[in-house]
Amino acid sequence: MKKIFSILIFLFVMSSASALFASEASHQENQAPDLKLVFRLINFAIFAGVLGFVLKKPVADYFSKRSELLKEKIEANRASHQKALEEHQEIARKLKNIEQESRELLTSFHQDGIREKEKIIEQANSLVSQLREDAKKITESELKKAKEELKNIAIGLAVELAEKSVQRDITAEDEMNLAHNFVKGIDKVYD
């Protein structure tokens, strides 16, 4: 800030000197017009020289810093551009392969579905076989029970018919013989 202030003071002094030389030149009208031009050129040269001397370092520093800043920005932009280009290539590669990957994925899903279908059919066939075996066993068991039940019913009916037939055909004398034979059979058992 101090440098800028000193530069402004210097510029003010120089411009005042320029105005002073210009007013002096107007008082001396008898001088040749070329001499006025020479004084003005000398005044300008001094002004430009002092200005160049005073501003040389700040301007050089400014342009040097500006140059470094621009180099850094260019390098950062180059790196950013390179990264974006690599990302673009990666995305393009993925997009190129996505159709193939989707076909492979669909094929894989289809094959998994076929395997799962075969597994389900196999399980269903196994279950059907088991159900048939169970049904066969149950049928055989029920058929055996039914035969036993029919046999018992037939025996009961046969006994009932035999009793009725015996009751009709048996006489009192036959009853006596039966009772007598029964008692003899019991005596033999206990003897």
pLDDT, tens digit, 9 for 90 and up, residues 167-186: 777 777 777 887 788 788 77
24 band by pLDDT with thresholds 50, 70 and 90: low
Where do the domains of the chain lie? 2-127
* Per-residue 3-state assignment (H helix, E strand, C coil) for the chain: CHHHHHHHHHHHHHHHHHHHHHHHHHHCCCCCHHHHHHHHHHHHHHHHHHHHHHHHHHHHHHHHHHHHHHHHHHHHHHHHHHHHHHHHHHHHHHHHHHHHHHHHHHHHHHHHHHHHHHHHHHHHHHHHHHHHHHHHHHHHHHHHHHHHHHHHHHHHHHHHHHHHHHHHHCCHHHHHHHHHHHHHHHHHHHC
Say whether pLDDT at 136 is over 70: yes
Average pLDDT over residues 109-132: 89
